[in-house]
Structure 1
Amino acid sequence: MSSDTDNNSVMSIKTPDLASCGEGENTPTRLFRVMTGIPIDYAIEQSSVLMNCVHRLTFVGVMEKDDTLVWAAHLLSGLSRALVDDVGHGIAYRARDQAQVEKSDAPTLGSMKV
Structure 2
Amino acid sequence: MNDKTAGVTGFGYGDGEQPLFRVEPGQDGKSAMEQASAIMACVKRMTLLAATDGEANLGWGAHLMSDMAKAVMDDVELGRQRGSTE
Q: TM-score, normalised by structure 2?
A: 0.95
Aligned partner (choices 71, 74, 85) of residue 82 of structure 1: 71
Instruction: Indicate whether 1:54 and 2:61 are aligned.
Output: no
Give % identity: 35
Taking CA–CA contacts closer than 8 Å with sequence separation of 6 or more, which of the two structures ends up with the larger relative contact order? Answer: 2
Q: Is 1:23 paired with 2:4? A: no
In the alignment, the residues of structure 1 paired with residue 53 and residue 43 of structure 2 have an alpha-carbon distance, to the nearest angstrom, of 15
Cα root mean square deviation, aligned: 0.8
Letter of the structure 2 residue corresponding to residue 28 of structure 1: E
1:42 aligns with 2:52: no
1:22 aligns to what SS in structure 2?
Answer: strand
Q: What runs of 5+ residues in structure 1 fail to find an aligned partner?
A: 1-10, 98-114
Measured after TM superposition, the shift of residue 30 of structure 1 is 0.8
